[in-house]
Amino acid sequence: MINRSAAEMAASLADGSLTSVELTKAHLDRIALVDSKVKAFLHVDTEGALAQAEAVDKKRQAGEKLSPLAGIPLALKDVLVQKGIPTTCGSKMLEGWRPPYDSTVVARLKANDIVILGKTNMDEFAMGSSTENSAYGPTHNPWDLTRIPGGSGGGSSAALAAFEAPLAIGTDTGGSIRQPAAVTGTVGVKPTYGGVSRYGLIAFSSSLDQAGPCARTVLDAAYLHEAIGGHDPMDSTSINAPVPSVVAAAKNGNVKGMKIGVIKELQGDGYQPGVLKRFNESLEILASLGAEIVEVSCKHFDYALAAYYLIAPSECSSNLARFDAMRYGMRVGSGSAEEVMNATRQAGFGREVKRRIILGTYALSSGYYDAYYGSAQKVRTLISQDFASAFEKADVLVSPTAPTTAFKIGEKANDPIAMYLNDIATIPTNLAGIAGMSLPSGLADEDQLPTGFQIMAPAMKDDRMYQVGSALEAALLSKWGKPILANTPKLEP
Amino acid sequence: MDCERRWPDPKVIRAQRRALGKVTFMSNISRDDVANLAKLARIDMSDAELDHLASELDVILNAVARVQEVAGADVPPTSHPLPLRNIFREDQVKESLTPEEALSGAPAQEEQRFKVPRILGEE
């Protein structure tokens, strides 16, 4: 039962052949069985999940009208606060902290009767591409436990690939939903910036952070997207417009006559041949389904990574100033407030977080501001302009999601630049605030590990990528004869 | 396709590094600079961390400095993806956190207040 899609599970719940309590217990059992190997979860809320499941079963028995995903279990990235549930953001700084309120994403999950199984592992404060920066140890990729599951949301994607949950929530600042999806053979969507509320999302880089759905199918992601999306008065950057009709688009899945733009700059030498081979095959499939493939050039994308690694650390150095040992979180040391602050931030933050705070402090300091942060903001304009002209030639843009398949745990831990290069294809989307999706395109010939296909759509046209994604997904499924995750090794003892 | 090749291939990494491009603005960040930044950021870093970070930041800054190649005076900066102005909610009295809830994560508290270490120096 746990291998099915969320939509299939929902159908069984609706026809009475399955209860949410049974479904939730099956997933809790699975977590108990395999999570000591995968380490996707930082906290499992057995009691809370079963209480939620019982409540939704009662509502269903009483004949209440329920949301499409009512009763379906979900894994929540530990960057989103949930009232009374330990929320660490992967950091020692927040160890043992229980938030006094729900984030808007959590409030909407609860309003939709989606059962929250627990909190998933992540790179500390969402800074990383491998989950190795978690203060609580790395998550392991279910495809090969010696490899990374991507990051920062590696826990959420690994939970999906290990069948510990059929749905998950991630957040994406430079690729933290899409790159983990790519390397675990799952689906991940970064909605348009402002499409999902950031209220209660522990801030890393506020002008880039965006929560979104993670799932095993495009349709499941669409249902979850509609459940969490939409305007929120508690987030002043939330877009006051209806959520794009992504479920209808995922059900449509017709690409006849659509123009699909291949970004010249997001392929070539820096990409693993097996990744490119699967990418080109997917293009051929979309062409055979009636889409028109065009090549577009976004010449400033070569500067995107550099701009991102100035903008994100700058914003993070400001956002993380809130961890001051005064109102919540860790407090160590003695003496004056400043001495306590200095000692606490030294003890509470990990290596990558400190590195980015210092980098951001430097980029924002007087004398360097114009050369670094100011120039990066200009590159951001140029990248948005590149996207705008590319979208004049194409309805959606596509690229490989990540340049390589999952690498070994520890392999890049001491080389920050090699690590940053994982996000080379996902970062432009965040800088421009547009929508992006990753879905599996197959397994690379070299290593038999999953590869991701990225689809990008203009702001608030998220539905287009669901339309293209579901068309490609259906064609690949009929080609393979089984879902990609049927190829994962057995994890149970 | 050579199935024996290990990934990530060093050749791929080298090509990616080339893509990061040539250096236009050589930064030269000293250990003292890092110590000062750590002070500004209120992080009591160890000597070993300061040494390590000075060399790392040099590499990172030289890689990201290339943003200056295209940041001409005629290009307007973008600080945010949405063209928004300040948005205000109605100033209405609503249910909020109780003092107990607001203080629930406090490292120390007294009389329904956050208790913090001495802020002013002893002069």
pLDDT digits 0-9 by tens, A212-259: 999 999 999 999 999 999 999 999 999 999 999 999 999 999 999 999
Distance from CA of B21 to the nearest CA of A (A): 9
pLDDT of residue B90: 85
Section A356-385 average pLDDT: 94
Closest residue to B77, CB basis, from A272, A377, A433 = A377
User: Is the pTM for the entire model greater than 0.90?
Assistant: yes
* Residue A190 structural domain: 6-302+377-487
How far apart are the C-alpha atoms of A32 and A20, rounded to whole Å? 18
- Which tokens is A2 given? 């746990």
Closest residue to A381, CB basis, from B9, B37, B76 = B76
Section A284-307 average pLDDT: 97
Would you call B60 and A417 a contact, using CB atoms and an 8 Å cutoff?
A: yes
Section B11-32 average pLDDT: 60
- Which tokens is B67 given? 């943003």
How far apart are the C-alpha atoms of A176 and A309, rounded to whole Å? 14
Write down how long chain B is. 123
Residue indicated by tokens 């065009």: A294
Domain CATH for A237: 3.90.1300.10
Section A88-93 average pLDDT: 98
Give chain B positions within 8 Å (CB) of A418: 8, 13, 16
pLDDT of residue B18: 55
Give chain A positions within 8 Å (CB) of B7: 272, 274, 404-405, 407, 444, 446-447
Amino acid at site B44 = D
How far apart are the C-alpha atoms of A402 and A387, rounded to whole Å? 19
How far apart are the C-alpha atoms of A229 and A1, rounded to whole Å? 28
pLDDT of residue B1: 33
pLDDT of residue B123: 55
pLDDT of residue A419: 86
How far apart are the C-alpha atoms of A312 and A173, rounded to whole Å? 8
Would you call B82 and A97 a contact, using CB atoms and an 8 Å cutoff?
A: no
- Annotated catalytic residue within A130, A152, A317, A441: A152
Residue predicted with more confidence, A149 or B123: A149
Residues A123, A131: contact at Cβ < 8 Å?
A: yes
- Annotated catalytic residue within A77, A119, A190, A461: A77
- The question of whether A207 is a catalytic residue gets the answer no
**pLDDT of B51 strictly over 80:** yes
C-alpha distances (whole Å) from A143 to each of A215, A301, A407 are: 16, 31, 11
pLDDT of residue A414: 83
Section A319-328 average pLDDT: 97
Total domains in the fold of chain A = 1
Section A469-480 average pLDDT: 98
Give chain B positions within 8 Å (CB) of A417: 17, 20, 59-60, 63
Distance from CA of B51 to the nearest CA of A (A): 12
Q: Give the whole-number percent of chain A exceeding pLDDT 70.
A: 100
Give me chain B's average pLDDT, please.
Answer: 81
How far apart are the C-alpha atoms of B30 and B61, rounded to whole Å? 12
In a domain, A215, yes or no: yes
**pLDDT of B19 strictly over 90:** no
* Residue B13: pLDDT band with limits 50, 70, 90: low
* Residue A437, beta-bridge partner list: A189, A455
Of A93, A133, A228, the C-alpha closest to A171 is A228
Q: Which range among A315-329, A431-445, A478-492, B85-99 shows the weakest confidence by mean pLDDT?
A: B85-99
Mean pLDDT comparison of A364-378, A380-394, B70-84, highest-scoring range: A380-394
In a domain, A320, yes or no: no
C-alpha distances (whole Å) from A345 to each of A128, A204, A350, A353, A413 are: 19, 16, 9, 10, 22
In a domain, A350, yes or no: no
Q: Which range among A232-236, A266-270, A283-287, A377-381 shows the weakest confidence by mean pLDDT?
A: A266-270
- The question of whether A282 is a catalytic residue gets the answer no
pLDDT of residue B23: 39
pLDDT of residue A405: 97
pLDDT of residue A268: 85
**pLDDT of A49 strictly over 90:** yes
- The question of whether A39 is a catalytic residue gets the answer no
Residues A85, A119: contact at Cβ < 8 Å?
A: yes
How far apart are the C-alpha atoms of A272 and A465, rounded to whole Å? 24
* Residue B16: pLDDT band with limits 50, 70, 90: low
**pLDDT of B121 strictly over 80:** no
C-alpha distances (whole Å) from A360 to each of A89, A221, B36, B94 are: 20, 34, 13, 37
Tens digits of residue pLDDT in A133-167: 999 999 999 999 999 999 999 999 999 999 999 99
Percentages helix, strand, coil for chain B, rounded to the nearest 5? 40, 5, 60
In a domain, A188, yes or no: yes
pLDDT of residue B27: 58
In a domain, A435, yes or no: yes
- Which tokens is B91 given? 């100033």
**pLDDT of B82 strictly over 90:** no
Topology classification of domain B28-72: Histone, subunit A (1.10.20)
In a domain, A448, yes or no: yes
* Residue B22: pLDDT band with limits 50, 70, 90: very low
